[in-house]
């Protein structure tokens, strides 16, 4: 039994923002090397500590064929996430608080009980979704990867990210395409231990948010092995302070 | 009649149009022998390449009747659930068990590798399963841990204590009762990989692909396992490969044996070759034509060459024997001998061929498409061989120098034996009649005693690969035969899920059923993980959410369709008990099924009448009885069962409840912050009030009664948010209420388990608890027809359930029934057609009936033999009707054509003459074909061996019946026939 919607939901916090429209002194960063660019990119992609989204997901491929999910997602520091499903009707009322793969609190509709779940499955996203719990840890790439510059084009800096020896991730390598304008990854290609490209994440539709910052509002993750895609679209976004108690059973039961 | 028996009772002989026509053919073939043989050789060479392009269709489902509900259901369900064909790869560790890093890694690699095989929709084994366990978190709270059952394996050179890791893993895996004995053996030394095949895949190809992939993967890993291949795809593949191998190998052996017998009996090597070549050419033509027209060989039509050899060689032998006779009698030229021979035996050959062909033509009345096609090709084949016999044998005999043998070819002893026996029957009618009646009675006694249902074992020899695999799967992993029950309804609805559980329980109670897999098990596991309750959740919102959360899991696609409108219950059955398991069909069609299908209504407990409550208890008891039956305990005392089901744990007062409630409230308030307490208020005080409320019989425990207590202790912030506070209070009420119910449920579970022997309790107590637990749900699930008087406010929900049974045993059962039915229809039609043809040929219905006697006798003895040997009536043996008729008629026509109905005075002379002219030919043919077919008994596929043995016996019985019975019958009916003729 694979609870893929939990994993799908947890991936929402990966939707990046862009700190500023222009990168100060790109040439100097390029001279410093890939790792410096990656560290800058991590910061640029995660300018807010608190974020509240309403997101729509669409699943394509296999039996899904356009299945849609809509949910409200609240995150803090990129480490804690609270989610409440709005669509489809079967999932309306499902609420989750995710503090990591080992600490997920679930409240199912039709009941008030809250259950703590720890997920230690080997291939969580395998066959069920295009995202995995491992992807959650990729909000910041620099701690897990050693980056070198693969190519610099007129528009992009392309980084080759090699997994650090101690990083416990299913990807041996990622190729990240960073637009020179803001250095927040626009395209990520994921490779497994055997060197096979297994996933591609494509971000698009950059729009100015309420705070005046640019942000990708569309995201497509494709699992190349299963020929399955997950589309994310941000419908609403705010960055107001989120109280700590949001990530609690109280929030799950009472909604506040 | 033939000119040699002009004094037969039918009057003076006048050359018939058939005889004239036969004479012309013989004359043409002998005069233009080179041209005739040249044209035939040319056509043969032209058709030969098509022998190699002929396709082989191994789909056994095509042998099911047209518009069969069993097939339609099987195919419909197969398409809906990714196919119902399951290939089983059993792996066995000969020393030790599976729990080593290398072996588990190999099992995982193999399971994942098999998904790459074309036609495999999905594969699964213990390495692919997820597991839910309940652990205590670092804060002491209960936590469901979802993990892989086997999980990440340390590398072989890991510094970790791998022995300890493997030991823990072994205990964990073998403690899961739903897996142990089904996917892994009790001892942990054998495991099963299930490969679900695509609905439209060719089973043989998929099975071959799986075998090749398994050998490749395990070969690269140093072959750590002994592998057993089971399930219908492998069985089908084995049949196809071995049938082909047997046909080639045994055809060769048969050919040699036939040549030797022909040579020994006809005493002419050239003659033997001519006879065999004539049939061989016919077979090449027929199979070549099939290849040219794109007609595939099927499991049945692959026997076409052997059958044509059996039926067709008689025609050329009769001509040959006749040619030899004329040569030996001093014919001036070979051409003259040939022309005379064809004129004499041409007509009976034609009519014998026609009647045999018509026997197969009757297959057109069958409702099995490949059998109809087979009938058409046998008709065409028989007629082609008749025509070729009339052309090739005369042409070749005219061309090839044949040695003359003075004194004829029929050995004196043989002639004496044949005539002596026939005379004995004529002279001792009473003794002969008694013997005949005895044989007929004995045959009738055994007719129908053949096995009614064929199991997989009936196809193969002891010690063969499929039987060894079956033995392995039966002994270690619960069998290899699957039945499926398709349930229709809103599968996400708890009312439907409960019914699925009950339907599965009925299946599980059948003898030989070793494991059941349905959507209920994952639903319960998910409920345990996400809800903390290892039962089917009661709220439809909860079950829908779980369904939605787990949707997309490939494991589910074989038990529920993507729309959750159909669910499948997989029932694994031991092969030896398949017929018992098939009793399910009757059970579900009867009152048991009526109770389980139809509308169901969820009625809130407060709206239940005492009658409805009793009805619910009775239904639960039936469910529990099924579980006891499955556990092998059928003598449960109904009173003890009722008591265990309705018993409540010893009453507890408020004081005894207090510590438990206080501990729970402490977690709810201090850790989970569901309620902020007003300063000065204590958890102990709140707990005390709640414990009093719980034992208060006047006030029902729930959100309404708890809310005032919460308002007394809640902070101002919470009091100002009454809706939020109400949610928290409802949470507390649900949690405490559930815990109280859990206590009752566990108590009853233990009481119910006590009715089982001690060794069965741990295996079945959870299932018993789950079945009994529904009595504690907020509503009762009842048949809709009983709830008409319940007000709408008391109705929680409505659902409808229907189901049907399918699976290979059901399909084969349908096939068996169809074979029987078709057999009867074919027998009736072919009998009428053959009698009409004989009546037309002999111009006498009495002679037609006499000519049919050997065929009828052969048929009866063959069916009796089948019963005696326990040979089942299957698709293969169902051909025996036509074979027996074909052979029986052939000999009778030849003999009767020559023998006729002589006058009493000439009878003996005619008998000797007929035995000399046709008797030996019949013996030669019967011997050569009987030996040829008897060699099929050396084959590896049992049905083929059966057809071989039965055909061989049919040949001999038919020959004996013809040579022994017909002279007597013609003698006995002479007066009657004369009267008729005189009229």
Chain A residue closest to B151 (CA)? A122
Mutate to test the interface with B, among A58, A61, A67, A90 (most CBs of B within 10 A): A90
Chain B contact present for A243, CB below 8 A: no
Mutate to test the interface with A, among B82, B123, B541, B739 (most CBs of A within 10 A): B541
Chain B residues lying within 8 Å of A245, measured CB to CB:
673
pLDDT at residue number A136: 54
The contacts of residue B875 (CB under 8 Å, 6+ apart) are B63, B299, B300, B368, B371, B815, B819, B943
> By percentage, how much of chain A surpasses pLDDT 70?
82
Chain A residues lying within 8 Å of B147, measured CB to CB:
118-121
- CA dihedral sign of residues B853, B856, B862, B865: negative
Name which of B110-114, B221-225, B450-454, B762-766 the model is least confident about: B450-454
Beta carbons of B131 and B147 less than 8 angstroms apart: yes
B450 band by pLDDT with thresholds 50, 70 and 90: low
B929: its two tokens = 């074909």
Helix (H, G, I), strand (E, B) or coil at B513: strand
Task: Tell me whether residues B552 and A64 touch, CB distance under 8 A.
Answer: yes
B4 band by pLDDT with thresholds 50, 70 and 90: very low
Chain B contact present for A225, CB below 8 A: no
Among A5, A108, A250, the residue with its CB nearest the CB of B531 is A108
Output the DSSP codes for B263-323. HHHH--HHHHHHHHHHHHHHHHHHHHHHHHTTPPB-TTGGGHHHHHHHHHHHHHHHHHHHH
Output the DSSP codes for B201-258. S-HHHHHHHHHHHHHHHHHHTT--SEEEEESHHHHHHHHHHHHHHHHHHHHHHHHHHH
Beta carbons of B206 and B179 less than 8 angstroms apart: no
Crossing angle of helices B942-982 and B880-899, rounded to 10°:
40
Q: Which of B305, B321, B324 is closest to B384 using CA atoms?
A: B305
Q: How far apart are CA B352 and CA B358, in angstroms?
A: 10
Task: Tell me whether residues A1 and B146 touch, CB distance under 8 A.
Answer: yes
Mutate to test the interface with A, among B551, B552, B728 (most CBs of A within 10 A): B552
Chain B residue closest to A96 (CA)? B530
- Find residue B800's DSSP bridge partners: B599
Residues B415-423, mean pLDDT to the nearest whole number = 88
Tens-digit pLDDT profile for residues B527-558? 888 888 888 999 999 999 888 877 666 667 77
Residue B766 burial (CB count, 10 A): 16
pTM of this structure: 0.75
CA distance A117 to chain B (A): 5
Beta carbons of B218 and B209 less than 8 angstroms apart: no
φ/ψ (deg, to 5) at B796: -95, -30
Chain B contact present for A155, CB below 8 A: no
Q: How far apart are CA B427 and CA B421, in angstroms?
A: 10
Q: Which of B128, B533, B553, B143 is closest to A102 using CA atoms?
A: B143
More confident residue, A127 or B822: B822
Among B531, B539, B549, the residue with its CB nearest the CB of A5 is B549
CA distance B476 to chain A (A): 25
Report how many Cβ contacts below 8 Å link chain A to chain B: 160
For B3-6, the CB contacts below 8 A with 24+ separation are B3/B344, B4/B344, B4/B898, B4/B913, B4/B917, B5/B898, B5/B899, B5/B900, B5/B902, B5/B910, B5/B913, B5/B914
Mutate to test the interface with A, among B150, B526, B549, B554 (most CBs of A within 10 A): B549
Tens-digit pLDDT profile for residues B488-506? 999 999 999 999 999 998 8
Residues B353-367, mean pLDDT to the nearest whole number = 84
Task: Tell me whether residues B525 and A106 touch, CB distance under 8 A.
Answer: no
Chain A residues lying within 8 Å of B674, measured CB to CB:
249-250, 253-254
φ/ψ (deg, to 5) at B194: -95, 125
Tens-digit pLDDT profile for residues B777-807? 889 999 999 998 899 999 999 999 999 888 7
CA distance B537 to chain A (A): 9
Please give the ipTM for the structure prediction. 0.82
Tens-digit pLDDT profile for residues A152-198? 999 999 999 999 988 877 789 999 999 998 899 999 999 988 899 98
Name which of A112-126, A127-141, B66-80, B672-686 the model is least confident about: A127-141
Chain B residue closest to A119 (CA)? B146
Task: Tell me whether residues B727 and A255 touch, CB distance under 8 A.
Answer: yes
Q: Is the pLDDT of residue B8 over 60?
A: no
Among B144, B548, B562, the residue with its CB nearest the CB of A115 is B144
pLDDT at residue number A245: 84
Chain B residues lying within 8 Å of A122, measured CB to CB:
148, 151-152
Among A90, A120, A127, the residue with its CB nearest the CB of B147 is A120
Look up residue A153 and give its DSSP letter: -
Q: How far apart are CA B92 and CA B95, in angstroms?
A: 9
Integer-rounded Cα Rg, in Å, for chain A is: 18
Task: Tell me whether residues A117 and B145 touch, CB distance under 8 A.
Answer: yes
Classify residue A60 as exposed, middle or buried by CB count within 10 Å of its CB (0-12, 13-18, 19+). middle
More confident residue, B108 or B157: B108
Task: Tell me whether residues A121 and B130 touch, CB distance under 8 A.
Answer: yes
Task: Tell me whether residues B146 and A245 touch, CB distance under 8 A.
Answer: no
Chain B residues lying within 8 Å of A250, measured CB to CB:
672-674, 728
pLDDT at residue number A227: 81
Among A1, A62, A256, the residue with its CB nearest the CB of B522 is A1
Chain A residues lying within 8 Å of B546, measured CB to CB:
108
Q: How far apart are CA B803 and CA B597, in angstroms?
A: 7
Among B141, B146, B543, the residue with its CB nearest the CB of A3 is B146
Tens-digit pLDDT profile for residues B883-910? 777 777 888 888 888 888 887 778 888 8
pLDDT at residue number A105: 87
Chain A residues lying within 8 Å of B104, measured CB to CB:
none
Name which of A92-106, B126-140, B161-175, B628-642 the model is least confident about: B126-140
- Find residue A96's DSSP bridge partners: A83, A106
Name which of B91-95, B203-207, B407-411, B424-428 the model is least confident about: B407-411
Residue B100 burial (CB count, 10 A): 18
Crossing angle of helices B494-508 and B540-550, rounded to 10°:
70
Tens-digit pLDDT profile for residues A14-63? 555 555 556 678 889 899 999 999 999 988 888 888 888 898 988 887 66
Q: Is the pLDDT of residue B320 over 90?
A: no
Task: Tell me whether residues B545 and A122 touch, CB distance under 8 A.
Answer: no
Output the DSSP codes for B606-630. GG--HHHHHHHHHHHHHHHHHHHHH
Tens-digit pLDDT profile for residues B677-686? 888 888 888 8
Task: Tell me whether residues A127 and B552 touch, CB distance under 8 A.
Answer: yes
Residues B609-623, mean pLDDT to the nearest whole number = 92
Q: How far apart are CA B284 and CA B698, in angstroms?
A: 94
Task: Tell me whether residues A115 and B553 touch, CB distance under 8 A.
Answer: no
Tens-digit pLDDT profile for residues B838-865? 888 888 888 888 888 988 899 899 889 9
Chain A residues lying within 8 Å of B541, measured CB to CB:
93, 108-111
Tens-digit pLDDT profile for residues B922-980? 888 788 778 878 887 888 878 778 888 888 898 899 999 999 988 888 887 776 665 44
Chain B contact present for A2, CB below 8 A: yes
Chain B contact present for A121, CB below 8 A: yes
Q: Is the pLDDT of residue A84 over 80?
A: yes
pLDDT at residue number A197: 93
pLDDT at residue number B915: 86
Among B135, B144, B734, the residue with its CB nearest the CB of A112 is B734
pLDDT at residue number B385: 93
Chain A residues lying within 8 Å of B557, measured CB to CB:
63
Helix (H, G, I), strand (E, B) or coil at B496: helix
Q: Is the pLDDT of residue A4 over 60?
A: no
Most confident of the following: A228-242, B281-295, B297-311, B859-873: B281-295
Classify residue B485 as exposed, middle or buried by CB count within 10 Å of its CB (0-12, 13-18, 19+). buried
Q: Is the pLDDT of residue A13 over 70?
A: no
Chain B residue closest to A120 (CA)? B147
Q: How far apart are CA B316 and CA B338, in angstroms?
A: 12
The count of residues in chain B is 983
CA distance B628 to chain A (A): 28
Task: Tell me whether residues A1 and B526 touch, CB distance under 8 A.
Answer: yes
């Amino acid at each position: 039994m694979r609870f893929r919607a939990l994993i799908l939901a947890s991936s929402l916090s990966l939707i990046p923002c862009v700190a500023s429209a222009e990168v100060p002194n790109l040439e100097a960063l390029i001279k410093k090397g890939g790792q410096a660019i990656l560290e800058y990119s991590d910061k640029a992609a995660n300018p807010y500590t608190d974020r509240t989204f309403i997101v729509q997901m669409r699943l394509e491929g296999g039996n899904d064929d356009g299945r849609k999910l809509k949910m409200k997602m609240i995150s803090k520091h990129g480490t804690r996430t609270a989610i409440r499903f709005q669509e489809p009707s079967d999932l309306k009322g499902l609420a989750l608080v995710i503090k990591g793969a080992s600490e997920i609190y679930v409240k199912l509709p039709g009941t008030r009980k809250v259950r703590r779940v720890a997920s230690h499955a080997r291939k969580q996203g395998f066959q069920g979704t295009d995202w995995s719990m491992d992807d959650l840890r990729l909000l910041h790439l620099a701690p897990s990867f050693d980056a070198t510059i693969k190519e610099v084009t007129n528009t992009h800096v392309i980084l080759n990210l090699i997994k650090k020896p101690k990083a416990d991730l299913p990807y041996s390598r990622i190729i990240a395409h960073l637009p020179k304008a803001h250095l927040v990854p626009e395209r990520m290609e994921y490779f497994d231990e055997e060197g096979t490209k297994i996933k591609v994440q494509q971000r698009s539709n950059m729009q100015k948010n309420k705070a005046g910052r640019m942000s990708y509002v569309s995201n497509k993750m494709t699992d190349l092995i299963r020929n399955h895609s997950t589309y994310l679209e941000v419908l609403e976004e705010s960055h107001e302070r989120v109280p700590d108690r949001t990530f609690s059973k109280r929030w799950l039961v009472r909604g506040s | 009649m033939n000119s040699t028996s002009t004094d037969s009772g039918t009057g003076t002989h006048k050359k018939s149009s058939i005889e004239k026509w036969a004479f012309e053919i013989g004359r043409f073939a002998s005069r233009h022998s080179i041209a005739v043989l040249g044209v035939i050789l040319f056509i043969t060479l032209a058709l030969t390449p098509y022998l190699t392009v002929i396709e082989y269709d191994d789909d056994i489902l095509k042998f099911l009747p047209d518009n069969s509900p069993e097939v339609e259901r099987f195919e419909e369900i197969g398409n809906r659930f990714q196919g119902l064909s399951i290939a089983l790869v059993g792996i066995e560790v000969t020393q030790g068990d599976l729990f080593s890093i290398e072996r588990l890694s190999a099992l995982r690699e193999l399971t994942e590798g098999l998904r790459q095989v074309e036609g495999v929709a999905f594969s699964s084994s213990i390495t692919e399963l997820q597991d839910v366990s309940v652990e205590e978190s670092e804060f002491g709270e209960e936590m469901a841990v979802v993990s892989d059952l086997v999980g990440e394996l340390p590398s072989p050179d890991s510094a970790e204590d791998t022995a300890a890791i493997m030991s823990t893993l072994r205990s964990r895996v073998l403690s899961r009762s739903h897996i142990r004995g089904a996917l892994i053996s009790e001892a942990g030394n054998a495991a099963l990989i299930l490969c679900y095949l695509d609905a439209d895949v060719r089973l043989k190809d998929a099975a071959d692909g799986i075998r090749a992939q398994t050998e490749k993967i395990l070969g690269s890993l140093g072959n750590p396992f002994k592998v057993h291949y089971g399930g219908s795809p492998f069985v089908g593949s084995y049949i196809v490969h071995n049938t082909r191998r047997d046909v080639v190998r045994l055809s060769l052996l048969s050919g040699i044996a036939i040549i030797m017998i022909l040579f020994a009996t006809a005493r002419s090597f050239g003659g033997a070759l001519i006879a065999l070549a004539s049939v061989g050419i016919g077979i090449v033509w027929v199979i070549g034509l099939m290849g040219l027209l794109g007609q595939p060989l099927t499991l049945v039509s692959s026997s076409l060459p052997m059958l044509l050899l059996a039926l067709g060689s008689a025609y050329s032998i009769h001509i040959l024997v006749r040619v030899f006779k004329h040569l030996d009698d001093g014919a001036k030229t070979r051409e003259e001998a040939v022309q005379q021979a064809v004129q004499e035996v041409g007509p009976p050959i034609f009519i014998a061929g026609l009647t045999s062909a018509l026997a197969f033509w009757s297959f057109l009345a069958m409702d099995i498409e490949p059998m109809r096609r087979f009938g058409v090709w046998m008709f065409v084949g028989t007629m082609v061989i008749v025509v070729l016999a009339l052309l090739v044998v005369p042409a070749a005999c005219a061309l090839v120098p044949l040695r003359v043998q003075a004194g004829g070819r029929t050995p004196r002893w043989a002639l004496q034996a044949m005539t002596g026996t026939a005379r004995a029957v004529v002279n001792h009618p009473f003794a002969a009649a008694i013997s005949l009646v005895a044989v007929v009675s004995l045959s009738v006694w055994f007719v129908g005693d053949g096995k009614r249902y064929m199991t997989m074992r009936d196809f193969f020899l002891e010690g063969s690969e499929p039987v060894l695999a079956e033995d392995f799967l039966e002994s270690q992993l619960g069998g290899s035969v699957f039945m499926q029950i398709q349930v229709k309804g809103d599968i996400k609805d708890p009312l439907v899920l409960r019914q699925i559980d009950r339907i599965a329980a009925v299946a599980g109670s059948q003898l030989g059923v070793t494991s059941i897999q349905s959507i209920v098990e994952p639903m319960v596991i998910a409920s345990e993980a996400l809800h903390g309750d290892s039962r089917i959740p009661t709220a439809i919102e909860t079950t829908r959410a779980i369904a939605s959360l787990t949707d997309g899991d490939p494991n589910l696609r074989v038990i529920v369709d993507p729309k959750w409108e159909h669910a499948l219950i997989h029932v694994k059955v031991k092969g030896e008990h398949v017929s018992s398991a098939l009793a399910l069909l009757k059970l579900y069609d009867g009152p048991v099924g009526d109770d389980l299908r139809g509308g169901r209504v969820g009625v809130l407990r407060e709206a239940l009448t005492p009658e409805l409550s009793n009805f619910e208890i009775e239904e639960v008891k039936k469910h529990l009885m099924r579980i006891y039956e499955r556990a092998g305990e059928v003598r449960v005392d109904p009173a003890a069962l009722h008591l265990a089901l309705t018993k409540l744990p010893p009453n507890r007062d408020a004081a005894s409840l207090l510590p438990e409630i206080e501990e729970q409230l402490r977690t709810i308030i201090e850790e989970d912050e569901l309620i902020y307490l007003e300063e000065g208020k204590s958890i102990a005080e709140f707990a005390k009030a709640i414990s009093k409320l719980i034992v208060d019989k006047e006030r029902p425990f729930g959100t309404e009664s708890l809310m005032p207590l919460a308002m007394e202790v809640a902070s101002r912030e919470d009091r100002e948010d009454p809706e939020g506070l109400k949610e928290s209070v409802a949470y507390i009420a649900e949690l405490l209420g559930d815990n109280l119910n859990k206590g009752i449920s566990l108590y009853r579970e233990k009481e119910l388990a006590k009715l089982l022997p001690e060794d069965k309790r741990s295996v079945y107590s959870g299932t018993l608890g789950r079945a009994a637990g529904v009595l504690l749900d907020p509503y009762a699930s009842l048949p809709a027809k009983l709830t008409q008087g319940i007000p709408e406010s008391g109705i929680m929900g409505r659902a409808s359930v229907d189901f049907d049974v399918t699976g290979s045993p059901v399909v084969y059962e349908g096939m068996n029934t169809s074979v029987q039915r078709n057999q009867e229809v074919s027998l009736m039609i072919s009998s009428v057609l053959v009698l009409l043809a004989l009546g037309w040929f002999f111009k006498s219905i009495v002679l037609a009936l006499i000519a049919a006697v050997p065929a009828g006798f052969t048929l009866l003895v063959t069916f009796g033999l089948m019963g005696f040997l326990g040979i089942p009536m299957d698709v293969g043996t169902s051909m025996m009707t036509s074979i027996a008729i074909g052979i029986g008629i052939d000999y009778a026509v030849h003999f009767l054509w020559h023998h006729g109905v002589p006058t009493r005075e000439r009878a003996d002379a005619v008998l000797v003459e007929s035995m000399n002219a046709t008797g030996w030919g019949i013996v030669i043919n019967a011997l050569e074909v009987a030996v040829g077919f008897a060699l099929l008994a050396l084959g590896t596929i049992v049905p083929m061996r059966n057809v071989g043995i039965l055909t061989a016996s049919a040949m001999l019985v038919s020959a004996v019946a013809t040579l022994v019975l017909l002279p007597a019958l013609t003698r006995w009916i002479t007066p009657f026939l004369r009267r008729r003729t005189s009229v």
